[in-house]
Each structure stands twice: as C-alpha cells, then as structure tokens.
A and B are shown apart, each in its own frame.
Chain A
C-alpha cells in the first residue's frame, strides 16, 4: 500500500498550508485488458497505477498539481498553493461541506481475482458465435477490468477512502462486401461484477447477424421524421440532449445561459421526469462520495416537464446560491474534479411499445448506440441499428442513422413515454479531456416528433 504510507505526511502539509481551501487525492489501481481482433486473442495486458494530486483555491483561482512520483509531497502542496495565489484575484466561493471520515469498500469480488484463463474462455465463446455467422469479415472484442482505491484528504480534516471496481466489454462484428463495410457493436459494463457480462450468447449472435444484414440495407432519406428510440438509445439521448446542459459549470458564469436555465421554466410535457443520481446500487455511475468528499444525492433535473434542479460542485453551488449535489468527479488523479452526470434517466410512464408505434404512418425506429455529443444548444447522437416504421408496424432495416436536434425544442417534441425503463451500462462520458468516465443512462421507449435525421 504505497499511498497509505504517505497520507500522514500529506495531511500534515495540507494543514500547514495557507490557502482559502486545499485538498489532495491519492489513488492506486490495477487493471487488466484483453483484446481480440479476428479469430485470435491479440493482446492480454496488466497495468498498475499509483499517483495523486493537490488542488488549492485562493481568491477564486485554482492551482492543481498532479504527480505519480510520491516523493517531495510538501513541495507539491506548496506549488499548488503558489499557483492558486498567482491565479486568484477575486473572492473564493465554496458551498459548505462538513468534513467526513469514512471507508467505503466495494461489495463485489475483485474482477482481477478471476483468472485470465476464465475470462478468455468466456470471450472465446462469444468470438466463436460471431465467427459462425456467414459473410462476416472480422470481429473486435475488448474487455477491461479495474480495481482502485482513492483517498480524499482535505485541510478541514476529511479522510475518505473509497474502493471502486469496473468491468467493461465491447464486442464489434464487421461485415464486408466489396468496398461496403458495415459494423454493429454491443457494449456492456458493471461496477465490478464479472457475472453481468456472462450469458450474452443470444445477443452476440443477433449482433453479428445484423452486421451482415446491413450490407444489403438501404440508407434512409435525410429529413425530419417521427422517431422512436429504444431504452438504450433514449438513454444516450437524455444524456446528450439534456444532461450536459444541467451541469452547472457550463451555466454558473454565463449570464445568458443562466437566464435560459432559470429554475421553473418548462422544458417538456407534464409526463417528463428526468433524474440524475449516484445513489442507486449496482450502477456504474454510483458512489457514496464525489471527488470533493460531498455525499451523493438524488437530483430531479426535470419534474413534470419543469426545470427543477441541476448538478453541482461546491463552487458552482455557492456561486448559484444552491445546494451541492455531489457531482464533482475526476476520471483519475491526473485531473481536477469537474461537474459530471452519474446515472441519468427518464422515469417510465404507461405506454407499451405497440401503443408508441401504432399511430406512426412513416417513421424511424432507432436502437443501440455508436455515440453522441452536444454543443449545449445542438446535440447529435447516432444509432447502431435502425428500421423504418410504416403504417404502425416495424418494416425494413436501414443503415445506422445520425439524429440531431435542438436541446431547447426537442424535449417538447417527446409525445410518448414507454413503460419499460432500462439502464445502459456500456457507455462512458467525455468532457474537458476526461474520458471515459463511468456513467450509466436509461429511459423507457420514447417517441419524438420532428427529429432531424441525416441521410442520403
């Protein structure tokens, strides 16, 4: 335990330093990775990492020093303070957070304790299924797991030790016919429980078959459509189309955006509730304390269509006169915490899938995801699979599509919310160079009117 030995010295240095606020994080982790390309296992690797950082605030300016050489910690503390003094020229604002002393172990078996042979056997099974599909060109599988311990210290006396684990699996099947190449992927993850990636044989088979089927599928005509999103893609939609806008670091120093994001404003129909919470067990975005040592909360962002809350760090909460929500997160010790989502979802309502598609004369059913991004005003997200809806029924498969819309109008265009909430654990979120952060997102099936679809 290299880092435990240094916490005493670091805590002393923090207490002696002179800044409006100062904290440190120490981290050690181990991880393993297995990748397949084609029929063969391509690479197996093991990684260890040890490192830490010191962050100081003085007169509203931040200094931040990260390192993985654990010697000379008092010098690092001093450098962070010096940088904060150089930066700050105004006033520091931090919402109060009482000091916390706690240890939070993980409640799953360390995935690194499972042998490489056992992991390889499962991945071999999946790869064989992919390769049994006729016309398949190649496959890519990447598996990773990790186990880490993070210690948070502050000059006010916080001492929080949290253990975290993660398992991620991404499978991709690639089909080719001449110069046409199509691919379909499947992404899964869990906060450390290896069992959650077992038993996917049927899903893997369907994925590979779909990649081959896409070779013959037409591309959709670009334009506006009524689209129906499956729970996985609707989760990506809620993350991109609204979640990022609720991160207060985009808003707190932007007067115009603050006016747009006034609490009490209507963003959608009375049926729409959007929630972000790190308090649900078993999800990748969950934790007990964030990286500023603030306890996780459950935040309603939208309730009955009205903007009622947002996600905060201690600084954004203080500057907006609101309560901290425990959403300051850093991907690892090399970065300072910034405001991030955790597990974000739309609450289910009553509609069945058949109710949702039955009234659509011509529309698009989009499933699964490639990715998504947002500019705050406009968002895009891409579906891994898509089908036409004709006269209330699912029709032919089409090439994967890209959807785009305006954040402020698209939520109003949701006119049906399903009864089948499902959380997607396969994604990671990127912001300000910190990617991929473990998050999950989810939704029931959604129907959106007038959604812009890119196409031929």
Chain B
C-alpha cells in the first residue's frame, strides 16, 4: 500500500490508496437441510490519483503489481474528469463501534445450530413449509492513505441470519421470510421466527381485493421493498446537481408531510453500515435530510460537494470497486406515536403491505413505483382477514409522502440500510385480478 502510494506520488500531484480485505464464512440451508458451508477471502486495492488536474483510477482484486496499477491509473487520467477537490488532510475521526471480537469467533457448529433452530420453529407452525436459511459472519478491514498525509482505518464485523419459507398448494405459492444483521453475534432467533410464524398465520386464508384506490399500511419490510430506493436516489447530491432529482432546487421547501423526519446515519454503534469515515477518509456524520417535512440537505462526496459549492457529508462510497460517488449509508425514519394495531383498526377496507416484487424496476428517478404484492394482507373492518394475491400497487413515492395518515411507533432495522416504523397512507392505487 505504501509502495503504491510512493510510486504514484512521483507521477501525480495527489494520490490515494484504498485497501479492503474480508473473510466471510456462511452456512446455507436448502429444502430444510444444511447444504453448503462456504468461506470467502478477498483483498482489493484501489488507486486514485490527480494528474494534470484530472482524475485517474485503477482497481485490482488479488495480487497486483504496484507499477502496473500506477500505469493504469495514469492512462485513465488523460480522460478523467477535472478534479475540483483536494484529498483529505489528517483528520480526527469519531469513535464508532463497528467491530465485536465475538463475531469472528462464533464457531460454525453454533451457526448451523441457529439455522436448524429457525427452520424447526417455522416448521413447527406449518410442517409442510419448505425452508431456506442462511447464517453468516464476516470480518472486514479498510485502510485509506493519501499523499496529503490523510490516514484512516477501521475494522468491522457483521453477523447476519435469515430464514425464508415457501408453501405450495396446487400452483399457489406463499413466500414468507425475515432476517436480521448486526456487527455483534445474533444468537437469539425468536424475533425472526415469531415474525415468520405470524406471516404464516395471517396467510392461512385468501381475501379478495377490489381494483380501486385503498388505504394502505406499509410495514418496515414493505417500505424497504417499494419506497426507499427512489428516496435514496432523490437525496443523492450528484443527481441533485444534475437536476435529475425531483428535489433539485427545493432545499428548505416543505415537500413532505410535516410528520416526516428522515436522516442518514453511519454513526450508530454496531450497525453494519456504520463506519468512522467514508471511502474517501472524510469523517462520518449524521446528516438530516427531511426535518418536519422540509428538505434539509443532500448527500455529497468530495468531488460532487466541490462542484455544488458545498462540503462533503462524508457520503463517498466506492460501490463495487469504482470511483467514490455519493451514496447513503443507512436511512433512518423517526418513529411516530401510532401503534400498528391502531392503524389497522382505523381502516374499513385496505391493505397491509409487507413485500412488493418488482417495485424498483420502474422510473426510480421520478419516484414512480409499481409492483406485485408478494406478501400482503387485506384489512376489513379494522382486522387483518387474509392474504392478498394477483394484486399490483402503483404510485409515486413523493406524492405519497406528502400525505401520511400516521407514522408507526415501532421502528425496526431492515437489511442494514434502513430503520423505519410502518407508514399508513390514506390511499394508493390498487389493481387486482380480484379472486378470493
């Protein structure tokens, strides 16, 4: 790493080396049985340099010759974008816990035991459900050094587990599932299996749905599967700068329901998306995005911030080994004060949406979403009466979030990147084949 930086510094005005190493072990269950145990080791190195004012970039997975890496980066710098920023000088980083030494130490036997436990609990409720489960632990290390003396490094552990069940009757298929992630070992599976058992219980009967606008409650999982991608794009400083975000030029405007508070937070202890600095070595911060319905800021990396005339929010992310670009770490929606039970009892005819399939395949930029309700429940007269099928929901995230009937009091993490309570909307377009 030092050798690459030294060589790059000879030919470029500024240079930065980013390395990431990881070790991951996972156990996977298929058709109710342990099927695979896997280990993945990986080491990568990325070089970014500024030469003649332009950005050059090279990336290598596995063994790489330092000079070849420098040559590739120099070659691309002839065509790269004009650099508008300086690499970070030495900085003080917040102390954010992301590593638990218990995590890499969980024995494989314990991991497979957790998988067996989840499958047994789900099948105890419904014996003919076919389960897949996964339990994994990983250990990451990240280091960043640059020619201006900037230095950052951290270690992160991640433990994740989940179970999915498929129940087939004739050609009717029901899909249920739940998972959790943390930097610490998750050794209690009951939260996950209780959720899945409740899904199975509620799905015992089918309920017909009319094709008309209906009140809907999106659960935390439902929000993650249908609503969050357009939001994440809309607050991306790069899309704002280009004017491709519908929020561009709307800073300070009340575009959302005044009950809505949203922020990006890489600083929560032991969350998988937390870190002391971003992928450029800029210190992590909690960034407010929506305060009482008003757009309060956007997410920036160094280059985009410089172009927009503002400061980096510590949101530079390298994605799959590319150049840093603005990206959210974890979105947090503040809980309200209405319980799920109160929301359901408020609805005469409507839906609870737990999983939408295909919602992210439309015009995400514009906020339009449309998808098939893979797991959802019908509400009649204040009670969940059964599962819905052959039903599509469609809408626009930005229009939907202008009028929220109630924000749930029970927030939870979904997939590491979102913490949200359920959200209750007064109406959403529903199209259904309608059989019960």
Tell me, rounded to whole Å, the shortest Cβ–Cβ distance linking A344 to chain B: 19
Q: Are B79 and A380 in contact (CB under 8 A)?
A: no
User: A86 with B392: in contact, given A176-B243, A180-B366 (CB under 8 Å)?
Assistant: no
User: A401 with B38: in contact, given A41-B79, A120-B79, A174-B365 (CB under 8 Å)?
Assistant: no
Tell me, rounded to whole Å, the shortest Cβ–Cβ distance linking B89 to chain A: 24
Residues 258-275 of A, flagged 1 when their CB comes within 8 A of B and 0 if not, give 001000000000000000
Within B151-182, the residues touching A (CB, 8 Å) are 166, 168-169, 171-173, 175
Tell me, rounded to whole Å, the shortest Cβ–Cβ distance linking A446 to chain B: 19
Q: Can you name the residue of chain A whose Cβ is closest to the Cβ of B128?
A: A256
Q: List residues of chain B with CB within 8 A of the CB of A253.
A: 30-31, 130
Q: Are A406 and B365 in contact (CB under 8 A)?
A: no
Tell me, rounded to whole Å, the shortest Cβ–Cβ distance linking A343 to chain B: 22
Residues 227-243 of B, flagged 1 when their CB comes within 8 A of A and 0 if not, give 00000000000100011
User: At the interface, yes or no: B43 with Cβ under 8 Å from chain A?
Assistant: yes
Within B376-398, the residues touching A (CB, 8 Å) are 390, 392-394, 398
How far is A58 from B290 in the complex, measured between Cα atoms in Å? 54
Within A22-61, the residues touching B (CB, 8 Å) are 32-34, 37-38, 40-51, 61
Q: Are A454 and B431 in contact (CB under 8 A)?
A: yes
Q: Are A67 and B41 in contact (CB under 8 A)?
A: yes
Residues 79-100 of B, flagged 1 when their CB comes within 8 A of A and 0 if not, give 1110000000000000000000
User: At the interface, yes or no: A376 with Cβ under 8 Å from chain B?
Assistant: yes
User: At the interface, yes or no: B68 with Cβ under 8 Å from chain A?
Assistant: yes
Q: Can you name the residue of chain A whose Cβ is closest to the Cβ of B58?
A: A46
Partner pick for A68 among B59, B62, B323, CB 8 A cutoff: B62
Q: List residues of chain A with CB within 8 A of the CB of B56.
A: 44
Q: Are A69 and B43 in contact (CB under 8 A)?
A: yes
How far is A222 from B365 in the complex, measured between Cα atoms in Å? 21
Q: Are A402 and B370 in contact (CB under 8 A)?
A: yes
Q: Are B365 and A181 in contact (CB under 8 A)?
A: yes
User: At the interface, yes or no: A257 with Cβ under 8 Å from chain B?
Assistant: yes
User: At the interface, yes or no: A418 with Cβ under 8 Å from chain B?
Assistant: no
Q: Can you name the residue of chain B whose Cβ is closest to the Cβ of A222?
A: B431
Q: Are A370 and B58 in contact (CB under 8 A)?
A: no
User: At the interface, yes or no: A155 with Cβ under 8 Å from chain B?
Assistant: no
Within B321-338, the residues touching A (CB, 8 Å) are 321-323
User: At the interface, yes or no: A453 with Cβ under 8 Å from chain B?
Assistant: yes
User: At the interface, yes or no: A101 with Cβ under 8 Å from chain B?
Assistant: no
Q: Are B365 and A46 in contact (CB under 8 A)?
A: no
How far is A120 from B358 in the complex, measured between Cα atoms in Å? 34
User: At the interface, yes or no: B64 with Cβ under 8 Å from chain A?
Assistant: yes
Q: Can you name the residue of chain A whose Cβ is closest to the Cβ of B362?
A: A382
Partner pick for B363 among A65, A182, A334, A408, CB 8 A cutoff: A182
Q: Are A41 and B81 in contact (CB under 8 A)?
A: yes
Q: List residues of chain A with CB within 8 A of the CB of B80.
A: 41, 43-44
User: At the interface, yes or no: B35 with Cβ under 8 Å from chain A?
Assistant: yes
Q: Can you name the residue of chain A whose Cβ is closest to the Cβ of B65?
A: A48
Q: List residues of chain B with CB within 8 A of the CB of A256.
A: 168-169
Q: Are B34 and A61 in contact (CB under 8 A)?
A: yes
Q: Can you name the residue of chain B whose Cβ is closest to the Cβ of A257?
A: B168
How far is A87 from B27 in the complex, measured between Cα atoms in Å? 9
Give the dominant DSSP class at A's interface.
Answer: strand
Q: Are B38 and A63 in contact (CB under 8 A)?
A: yes
User: At the interface, yes or no: A223 with Cβ under 8 Å from chain B?
Assistant: yes
Q: Are B431 and A453 in contact (CB under 8 A)?
A: yes
User: At the interface, yes or no: B60 with Cβ under 8 Å from chain A?
Assistant: yes
How far is A180 from B247 in the complex, measured between Cα atoms in Å? 10
User: At the interface, yes or no: A198 with Cβ under 8 Å from chain B?
Assistant: no
How far is A254 from B166 in the complex, measured between Cα atoms in Å? 10
Residues 108-127 of A, flagged 1 when their CB comes within 8 A of B and 0 if not, give 00000000110010000000
Q: Are A63 and B37 in contact (CB under 8 A)?
A: yes
Partner pick for B62 among A49, A378, A400, CB 8 A cutoff: A49
Q: Are B363 and A43 in contact (CB under 8 A)?
A: no
How far is A83 from B57 in the complex, measured between Cα atoms in Å? 38
Q: List residues of chain A with CB within 8 A of the CB of B36.
A: 61-64, 87, 336
User: A378 with B374: in contact, given A46-B75, A61-B34, A68-B61 (CB under 8 Å)?
Assistant: yes
Q: Are B41 and A138 in contact (CB under 8 A)?
A: no
Q: Can you name the residue of chain A whose Cβ is closest to the Cβ of B430?
A: A222
Within A119-147, the residues touching B (CB, 8 Å) are 120, 137-138
Partner pick for B368 among A33, A34, A399, CB 8 A cutoff: A399
Q: Are A138 and B243 in contact (CB under 8 A)?
A: yes
Q: Are A116 and B75 in contact (CB under 8 A)?
A: yes
How far is A371 from B229 in the complex, measured between Cα atoms in Å? 15
Q: Are A43 and B361 in contact (CB under 8 A)?
A: no
Within A254-297, the residues touching B (CB, 8 Å) are 254, 256-257, 260
Chosen A-B contacts, 29 in total, with CB atoms closer than 8 Å, are A38-B242, A40-B81, A41-B81, A45-B76, A46-B73, A47-B60, A47-B61, A49-B60, A62-B37, A64-B37, A65-B38, A68-B61, A68-B63, A79-B39, A87-B27, A87-B35, A181-B245, A181-B246, A181-B366, A222-B429, A256-B169, A371-B358, A375-B374, A377-B172, A381-B358, A399-B368, A400-B363, A402-B371, A408-B171
Interface residues of B (CB under 8 A from A): 27, 30-31, 33-44, 55-64, 68, 72-73, 75-76, 78-81, 108, 130, 166, 168-169, 171-173, 175, 211, 238, 242-246, 250, 321-323, 357-358, 360-363, 365-368, 370-372, 374, 390, 392-394, 398, 429-433
Interface pairs A-B: 9 shortest CB-CB: A380-B358, A68-B62, A222-B431, A371-B361, A454-B370, A50-B62, A253-B31, A402-B370, A46-B72
